[in-house]
Structure 1
Amino acid sequence: MRIAIAIDSLAGGGAEKVMITLAKQFIRLGHEPHFLVMEDNRYYDTPENLPVHQCFAPKDKDFDHFGRLKASVNKLRAKITEIESQVGKFDLFLSNLDKTNLMMTKTCVSPLYVIVHSSVEEELSRQLKLGPFAYLKKLSAKKALNGQHLITVSNGIAKEIKDKGRLHPASMQTIYNPFEFDEIGAQSRQENSQIPQGDYLIHVGRFAKQKRHDVLFEALRLTQNQLPVVLLCHNHKKAMKAAKKFGIEKRVIIPGFQSNPFPWIKRARALVLSSDFEGLPTVLIESLACGTPVVSTDCPHGPSEILTGKLAPYLVPRRAPQALAQKIDEVLNQPPSLEQVEILAKVDASLIAEQYVALAK
């Protein structure tokens, strides 16, 4: 099968990483994935046998602006036609992220499935605080999902969409994100001279309001332990400035973006997630796969589907730094056994790729 994966870019976000993992698995299964990226903004490396087609030139700024949307959709449709004339017709289109979804849903390509990576309602709520224009732009992107075939990355997102009734998809099903555990294991054993020699905690995620670094820093201030924390994020200056507000800047280590975060995660005493909302937080599953225990806010959506059974006690209410601090101390004093973690059996990359391939049959 020839599969088109449309996405904003290959910048260092979770959705981009998930799609690269999925594409690599498609190749292993004998299929031919292609990336259709809206703009050239690349952090992640891609295999040489994975074609990446840039759909808009650098001069095409604000291609998703309301006034330019019709022209942008026409340009994208023409680009897809051009690619298909060179490589053959696509058997399946997978669309990701708001900018891309807004245009792909108007191109009339088929069969098209839109992957919902995060909470619709939480994202809208966040944009509302930024003002009416930001909210209406986000709402327009979400409304584009009406009448579409949706894939949600967690059951929680699907339940939210169904219960809220804001969106009316043509169909909806959950397919978890894929994970290549052999590759994660191999990468986690690689040497990296930047990694601290002593014990440390780790937080992985871009410096954004959704990730609630303020909650993380307040929790660290309240912990009995005084371990340093490694932040794998992009914006060093903003992160350090925020850490200073809580008086923990001397405990913060920010090495910058890491194309291979797994050695950092494997050698950490514990990974902490402090987010307000997620889709299916990849980093929690990666940490468990590396044998590193986690503490997470019980945010919508995903953590409660990952931390089940014996790991459920390591969920804490969101926006509760004191509770987060207590669980951090607890996981350090008595780390849980990570043998036979339930979620790991459900997210193997080959299993997930087969579920996507079945969409076109």
Structure 2
Amino acid sequence: MPHVLLVIDQLTSGGAPRSVLKLTRALLESNIRVSLISLSERVALPIPEGAEWHVVAFTPASRWEKLRRYQLHARRLDAFLASHTTPFNLVVANLHQAHQVVSRSTLAKQAWYCLRSDPWQELLSNKRGWRRGIKRHKVRRLYDNKRIIALSRTNLESLGRIGSQPQATRVIPNVLHVENIHRLMQARIAEPELQDTDFCLFVGRLNFRSKRLDRLLEGYLASGIDLPLVVIGDGENERLQQEVIRLGLQDRVWTLGGRDNPYPYMRQASVLLLSSDYEGLPNVLLESLACDTPVVSTDCLSGPRDILVGELARGLVPLEDTQAFGRTVRDIIEHPPAITHEHIAPYLPQTVSAAYRELME
């Protein structure tokens, strides 16, 4: 049985750790042995049954250790691996800390490095002047001559923009467990007022910097539609309420907070809206399509353009064109595109598992 090692920063929270655990489940279902290594003691998410998992953490005890933390952490990882002699057919490092540590370890040449967000946006967008130049050099040194997995084609284009020259690249998206989504979306919506109502929907972290909730509200207002907007997510709720009041949308926007199961809302929504400045590969778009609900999204880095193809590309709008966002919302509601099996087939567990199996050959 082939054996895959997945190394990740932490398994506590966040979209990337959850995506790695979905991948773990898909690989196990394909009769592939999976070992997980968390580089942090923070492990709160449920580990799929059948997976082997370990914690190899390192906490710097001094300023000197902090400056050399990646190298020292790599030594600890190497010591752990030396005590576990089972060979791996494939090693995949996930997230930036894992990339830094694995690249300094004995796994460096064997590993693939999976980019789970847009590298330019995550690593360089907040740098200016000479600081950006230094950071660009560090990123290039990290990824040059490495084997890179990206969730989307636009992730790879972003790495090229930095100037990195990988040894090999593959695009392998996140896993979408459609059967599980179809089961969960059958539940009844908790709010009686919404149970028989058409509405627009936003699902995600309430973060103004990345999700651009100001653009979401302004685009919704520009659409001129009568449907309410339902917002599901936790985060900057107070600031969101201030924007709702500023735009006079108090009677039209429902803020529900977080929901463990958003799929009944996705199933009933007329359209799902995404207004982000950047993404990794936005799972929420895939989940909405799995619920047979069309999407309007900014054409941001990175992922929406890879997901919304064919007729679904009508739902893509330029980043800074709020009026176009509004027009597209109205158009998609009035003339919804057909969502077919081909739109979600690349993200099915068996498809993604087969792509990882090919890396072992």
TM-score with structure 2 setting the length: 0.85
Rounded to whole Å, the distance in 2 between the matches of 1:47 and 1:210 is 30
Residue by residue over 1:323-349, the C-alpha shift from the partner in whole angstroms, topping out at 9 and shown as x without a partner, is 1112112222232222x2533122221
Where does residue 105 of structure 1 map in the other structure? 103
Q: Give 1:354's aligned residue.
A: 354
Asked if the contact 2:7–2:93 (Cα under 8 Å) also holds between the matched residues in 1, the reply is yes
Residue 167 of structure 1 and its aligned partner are, at CA, apart by 0.6
1:65–1:296 distance in 2 versus 1, CA, 3 Å: farther
Give the 5 Å matches for 1:80-91.
Answer: 80-82=81-83, 84=84, 88-91=86-89
CA contact (8 A) 1:240 1:252 kept: no
* 1-structure distance, mates of 2:55, 2:152: 29
Inter-CA distance 68–261: structure 2 relative to 1 (3 Å threshold):
same
Report the secondary structure of 1:128's partner residue.
Answer: coil
2:332 — aligned with what?
Answer: 331
Q: 1:26 to 1:272 in 2, by over 3 A?
A: same
Q: Which moved more, 1:1-10 or 1:136-145?
A: 136-145
| Alignment partner of 1:273 is 2:274 | yes
Give, in angstroms, the shift of residue 91 of structure 1.
2.5
Structure 2 CA distance for aligned equivalents of residues 5 and 125 of structure 1: 26
Matches within 5 A, 1:1-361: 1-41=2-42, 44-56=45-57, 65-82=66-83, 84=84, 88-109=86-107, 111-128=110-127, 140=138, 143-162=141-160, 164=161, 166-193=163-190, 196-197=194-195, 198-208=197-207, 209-235=209-235, 236-248=237-249, 251-338=252-339, 340=340, 342-361=342-361
Counting aligned pairs with the same residue, the percent is 26
Cα deviation for residue 136 of structure 1 reads 5.3
Alignment partner of 1:127: what SS?
coil
Instruction: State how far apart, in whole Å, the 2-side matches of 1:117 and 1:61 are.
Output: 30
Offset, 1:293: 0.9
- Structure 1 unaligned spans of 5+: none
State the 1:241 CA deviation.
Answer: 4.5
Q: Distance in 2 between matches of 1:124 and 1:328?
A: 32
> Between Structure 1 and Structure 2, how many residues are aligned?
355
Distance in structure 2 (CA, Å) of the matches to 1:147 and 1:210:
30
Cα offset, 1:317, TM superposition: 0.4
Which of 1 and 2 has greater Rg?
2
Aligned Cα root-mean-square deviation (Å): 3.1
AA in 1 matched with 2:57: F
Q: Offset at 1:242?
A: 4.7
Partners of 1:232 and 1:38 lie apart in 2 by 31
Deviations 1:250-297 (A, max 9, x none): 544444443433222212221111122233322212111111111011
Quote the Cα distance in structure 1 between the aligned partners of 2:145 and 2:239: 40
CA–CA separation in structure 1 for the residues paired with 2:68 and 2:282: 35
